[in-house]
């Protein structure tokens, strides 16, 4: 499977302070293993042969952890020196020099997966697709997905009306084939224009508007959890106890 997983683990985890003052969010313990360990296990189980971890906040701690607890697949680090002043769109771009496969599976660094959803995404015939939870209650915080009549992603935004949307994009997606160089070019154009504070979904939306097709792969609400704050962390620890 000629893909590289890209894990975005640069953020400071401000909503989890003080836990993240000395520990990167991705190294918080969930049921005896760190979030990062759980992600790398799922990536290896999906048959993806390599991973890139984008670091920023407490980057040295991530490097030390990977040395002390060798992961089940080769992992390279991609530092984002501007993580504190830019959005995650620039963390994706920071991975470009290390992500040398013809496709990437892009993962938010605070998502814990169970089951085979990552493998289903990687093996889906669509060159570009995202994992979609159609069962989650939608509100302001969710990255909502509006589909067109053919089931393609039409719009991606937290600002969309929940009633119009098919579900939440959970922060795990594949971009491959002709779409990948378009992604890099779009992110480069955003950087050159000074548009560096947004989400990588902003780049996806620009790509969609130029004709790039994104499909969806279903994931059950019970197959994943996102850890944004202390309540989320406590819930994840209870689930994986």
Q: What is the mean pLDDT of the chain?
A: 94
Calpha distance 129→24 (Å, rounded): 28
Model pLDDT for residues 51-75, shown as the tens digit of each residue = 999 999 999 999 999 999 899 999 9
Handedness of CA 104, 106, 111, 114 (dihedral sign): negative
Distance CA 1, CA 49 (A): 7
3-state secondary structure of 30: strand
Q: Whose CA is closest to 169, among 148, 197, 147? A: 147
124-169 residue pLDDT tens: 999 999 999 999 999 888 999 999 999 999 999 999 999 999 999 9
The closest of 187, 38, 47, 148 to 105, measured between CA atoms, is 47
**Which value, to the nearest 10 degrees, does the dihedral of the CA atoms of residues 238, 9, 17, 139 take?**
-70
Cis peptide before 80 (omega within 30 of 0): no
Q: What percent of the chain has pLDDT over 90?
A: 85
- Contacts for 75 with CB less than 8 Å, ≥ 6 apart: 40, 50, 51, 52, 53, 66
Task: Specify the pTM.
Answer: 0.94
Coil, strand or helix: which one is 196? Answer: coil
185 sits in the region (left: phi over 0; alpha: psi -120 to 50; else beta) called alpha
The predicted structure's pLDDT at residue 1: 66
The model's pLDDT over 80-130, given as tens digits with 9 standing for 90+, comes to 999 999 999 999 999 999 998 899 999 999 999 998 999 999 999 999 999
Burial label, 133 (beta-carbon count in 10 A; 0-12, 13-18, 19+): buried
Look at domain 4-239 and name its CATH class: alpha beta
In Å, how far from its chain's centre is CA 171?
4
Tokens of 128: 């570009």
Residues 236, 139 contacting (CB under 8 angstroms): no
Here the contacts of 189-196 (C-beta below 8 Å, separation 24 or greater) are 190/89, 191/90, 191/93, 196/82, 196/85, 196/86, 196/87, 196/89, 196/90
Q: What is the pLDDT of residue 240?
A: 80
């Amino acid at each position: 499977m000629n893909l590289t997983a890209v894990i975005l683990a640069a953020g400071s985890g401000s909503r989890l302070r003080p836990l993240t003052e000395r520990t990167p969010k991705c190294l918080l313990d969930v049921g005896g293993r760190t979030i990062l360990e759980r992600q790398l296990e799922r990536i290896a189980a999906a048959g993806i042969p390599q991973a890139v971890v984008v670091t920023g906040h407490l980057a040295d701690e991530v490097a030390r952890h990977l040395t002390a607890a060798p992961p089940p697949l080769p992992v390279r680090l991609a530092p984002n020196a501007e993580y504190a002043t830019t959005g995650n769109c620039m963390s994706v771009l920071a991975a470009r020099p290390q992500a040398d496969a013809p496709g990437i599976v892009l993962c938010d660094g605070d998502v814990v997966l169970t089951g085979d959803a990552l493998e289903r995404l990687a093996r889906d015939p669509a060159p570009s697709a995202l994992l979609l939870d159609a069962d989650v209650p939608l509100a302001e915080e969710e990255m909502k997905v509006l589909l067109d009549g053919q089931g393609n992603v039409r719009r991606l935004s937290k600002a969309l009306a929940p009633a119009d949307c098919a579900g939440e994009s959970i922060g795990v997606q594949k971009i491959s084939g002709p779409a990948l160089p378009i992604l890099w070019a779009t992110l480069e154009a955003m950087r050159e224009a000074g548009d560096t504070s947004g989400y990588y979904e902003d780049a996806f939306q620009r790509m969609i508007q130029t004709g790039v097709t994104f499909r969806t792969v279903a994931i059950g609400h019970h197959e994943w959890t996102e850890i944004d704050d202390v309540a989320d962390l406590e819930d994840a620890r209870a689930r994986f106890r």
